[in-house]
Structure 1
């Protein structure tokens, strides 16, 4: 099944990383392309005010990570929050990663704030708290590279918690067949995280930094999460296609009855 994905790129790479690594939007294109060749992507840098034309439709909208706070009042963040509210009200499928996870929770009525637990960095393990029908396998835990100090501290009303840990209670959630979010970074690689840790070393206490560097020897399940995200989008698309077909049949019957 061919899918069209709009990537709302919410940050630019640190200048020291731009010659070595691809941008956040391209990271997701690379991640998803390893799962499925039948995908069409477009990247829009929302920090610079880039958004798709109103008439352009996608099967899902993905909000990337960012060093910014989702609850800040920078003009581009205010605009993004309004855009996501509109997309949700229109019934579009929304995916969020890190900053994207936090801003979607906030937009939908949850609470996102600076965590008293401090920075989460390196490879982190999460427990799967719920196994929806669309989930392609039955793992009980997964590990992801992370880099955040903001957290979702209260989920939106009606949201289903998917994954958690002692450090991050609301690490992943879904809302019906429309929203799926993860705090961790499936698109990151170990080398990208190692470089980012080095650039930001002064922001961490020595113990945090050393533990995070050591954790990079552990497995990162980014491909697993990419598979889950695509399964979620496909399931939502099938459901909408079926619903549209049913509505067409009903409309046809109504026309026949009124003829």
Structure 2
């Protein structure tokens, strides 16, 4: 399998030596989840970097970003154009956080700043797709998150994958073409804590403290990645 990763952000300079980039973080978790023989190619969309053609890829994954998926920034506008074309071609798409939101916009759903504010740390969800490989037996699943934008409605023809009170559309799928989650299966606790430390003032002390403490309980990023792998492989 060959995965095209559209990397939609840069890491903070002090994090690059350890984590390299969001594309590298995605590749690491996919390999840990079993995609050892896959090929990965990363393209950095904020500088308009794309493959000459998507035809040679089995799927395209959109990473997270601190940018707004509904932004009028030229690179985001171009990314939405490219994703809309991929949807028309029925190319398999995977979306994480910003990617989840941007794909939803291209599918006609509403996305915007969440009135309930930031979602950070570890969040637990009801999982609604029990038939997927690696789905939790108790229909509960947790992921590390970092977002203040949300998908407000399920895209047309989509099924709901994950939800909770803070984020009612935390995951969705469309047929055999689209699989998206609001959380970050590629994050590790240390990186999540690093991001929250950079936003501590914006989050407020109460939210920051409780979210950092939530990291003690682990998350299901590997299981969600296994679902993505099975989705691309047609299982």
- Asked if Structure 1 and Structure 2 have the same fold, meaning a TM-score greater than 0.5 normalized by the shorter chain, the answer is yes
* Shift of residue 137, structure 1, vs aligned partner: 4.0
Q: 1:206-237: per-residue Cα shift (whole Å, max 9, x none)?
A: 1100011110101111100110000011117x
Gaps of 5+ in 2: none
- Comparing 73-82 with 123-132, which one deviates more in the overlay? 123-132
1:20 matches 2:36: no
- Comparing 227-236 with 66-75, which one deviates more in the overlay? 227-236
RMSD value, Cα: 1.2
* Shift of residue 54, structure 1, vs aligned partner: 2.0
Partners of 2:12 and 2:202 in 1: CA distance: 15
Partners of 2:64 and 2:233 in 1: CA distance: 23
Larger Rg: 1
Q: Which residue of 2 aligns with 1:109?
A: 108
Query: So what's the TM-score if we normalise by structure 1?
Result: 0.87
Partners of 1:169 and 1:138 in 2: CA distance: 18
Secondary structure at the counterpart of residue 216 of structure 1: helix
Q: 1:127-157: per-residue Cα shift (whole Å, max 9, x none)?
A: 112334x434443111100000000001211
Q: Which residue of 1 aligns with 2:191?
A: 192
Number of residue equivalences: 233
How is 1:46-125 mapped onto 2 (pairs within 5 angstroms)? 46-54=45-53, 56-125=55-124
